[in-house]
Amino acid sequence: MRGGKTDQANLGTRSVWGGEDEYSMQGATQVPVVHSVGYGYDDVDEWYEVALGLRPGHIYGRNSNPTVHVFEEKVRMLEGAEAATSFSTGMAAISNTLFTLLRPGDRVVSLVDTYGGTNKIFSEFLPNFHIEPVLCPTTDHERLISEVNQGAKILYLESPTNPTLKIVDLKRLIDAAHLAGALVVVDNTFATPINQQPLALGADLVIHSATKFLGGHADALGGVVVGRRDLVEQIYHYREINGATLHPMSAYLLLRGMKTLHLRVRQQCASAMKIASFLAEHPAVDQVFYPGLPDHENHDIAKRQMVQFGGVLSFSLKGGFDAVRVLLPELKYAHLAANLGAVETTAGPPRTTSHVELTHEERAALGIPETLIRYSVGIEDVGDLIEDLAQALAHVPHELHVRS
């Protein structure tokens, strides 16, 4: 069959062919977008068997859909997982996973630097259900392991983190959590399966905001959970009831985007490395945060567990927020926007986007400088991006460089 044995192919081939062999409508080579909500059966016994899951097929769009299924299969193959289930957004994937697996009295150990929405689930919503979130300093591995050893249902990790690109040692933490009897969930959104495969390091579940690199075109929201079949089935069951279903049109857009995932991500990572090196030498730049730089705090761990270092970097400017106000509007080849992972470069200050609700002190405690700019590298020619940054940085008045 076309695309057969995609599971064993290399990642680029999996990006293109993964899941695509599942479906053929009158010889169409592309996956059709099936908008139908219901699926009709002339034979009531067959209908009954499909409804019970005894034979393949679909009943109702909230539960499953052929287009959505192909999307799930593609991600499942890219992450080398047993099973996959999808969601309307990345946050739906995260919250459905946590609310499926956690019970009153459970502890969940995680990082202070998780994605903003995830952090809110931990600090604002889980305590309502008597679930205790324990958020540790992100790179304090001893502390994370000691908290897990005191009893935890889930160790929830993210690496690299947003927006300061911190790295945690996945293998070390996964092994420690398993020894302590905890499940490990990893948000792999920033790394993508092209750069990092947490399931191969032993993680139980991997989550993506497909809205970002997987889709890659900033035109569809989506989320996905892949990993151990028994866990994914429980999470799927919660989602089919709770209703955070991925729309078939979004599934199609994400699917089409994923066919170029490997090309985009390789280009974005190579460009990010060059841009990070350029910024590190620039007099108006205070600090550059990118795990590919040899002086990054956890560069050695990143080198061990990642292929390339990701398409997102961040940097802070000398001279207070006025420097940010001057720089950003001068960028020609960047949307000033909150999303990331798209083919177009996107830039913005965490102070006004992901971390807008935090106080100055809270941001400082997370190591987020007030003048930090998150820069998600697109697939433009890197020479143009560097030239663009150079001309924009030249607009920052010199007195702002030295006052810091």
Query: Residue 96: helix, strand or coil by DSSP?
Result: helix
Least separation in angstroms between residue 51's CB and ligand PLP is: 31
Question: To which residue do tokens 């996973």 refer?
Answer: 97
Least separation in angstroms between residue 5's CB and ligand PLP is: 31
Site track for ligand PLP across 264-303, x = CB under 6 A: ----------------------------------------
Least separation in angstroms between residue 187's CB and ligand PLP is: 5
Which is closer to ligand PLP, CB of 12 or CB of 117?
117
Helix (H) or strand (E) holding 249: helix 248-258
Active-site annotation holds for 166 = no
Our finding on whether 239 is near ligand PLP (CB under 6 A) is no
Active-site annotation holds for 62 = yes
Which is closer to ligand PLP, CB of 307 or CB of 338?
338
Active-site annotation holds for 388 = no
| Cβ neighbours around 151 below 10 Å, total | 15
Q: Which two tokens stand for residue 403?
A: 């006052």
Closest to 65 in 3D by CA, of 74, 54, 56? 56
Active-site annotation holds for 172 = no
> What does the DSSP assignment read for 289-305?
E-TTSTTSTTHHHHHHH
Which is closer to ligand PLP, CB of 209 or CB of 298?
209
Q: Which of 212, 239, 266, 374 is catalytic?
A: 212
Our finding on whether 223 is near ligand PLP (CB under 6 A) is yes
Which is closer to ligand PLP, CB of 156 or CB of 190?
190
Position among 3, 117, 137, 151 found at the interface with ligand PLP (CB under 6 A): 117
Cα 302 from Cα 295, distance rounded (Å): 12
Query: Residue 347: helix, strand or coil by DSSP?
Result: strand
| Cβ neighbours around 304 below 10 Å, total | 12
Contacts to ligand PLP from residues 173-212, by CB under 6 A = 187, 189-190, 209, 211-212
Residue showing the smallest CB distance to ligand PLP in the complex: 90
Our finding on whether 162 is near ligand PLP (CB under 6 A) is yes
Closest to 165 in 3D by CA, of 360, 385, 345, 340? 340
Residue type, 115: Y
Least separation in angstroms between residue 341's CB and ligand PLP is: 8
Cα 213 from Cα 189, distance rounded (Å): 7
Least separation in angstroms between residue 403's CB and ligand PLP is: 33
Cα 29 from Cα 272, distance rounded (Å): 35
By CB under 6 A, the count of residues binding ligand PLP is 15
Q: Which two tokens stand for residue 255?
A: 């699917």
Q: Which of 187, 236, 239, 264 is catalytic?
A: 187
Helices 141-149 and 170-179 pack at an angle, to 10 degrees, of: 20
Site track for ligand PLP across 69-98, x = CB under 6 A: --------------------xxx-------
In this structure, are residues 164 and 289 in contact, taking their beta carbons and an 8 Å threshold? yes
Active site residues: 62, 115, 187, 212
Q: Which residues bind ligand PLP (CB under 6 A)?
A: 89-91, 115, 117, 158, 162, 187, 189-190, 209, 211-212, 221, 223
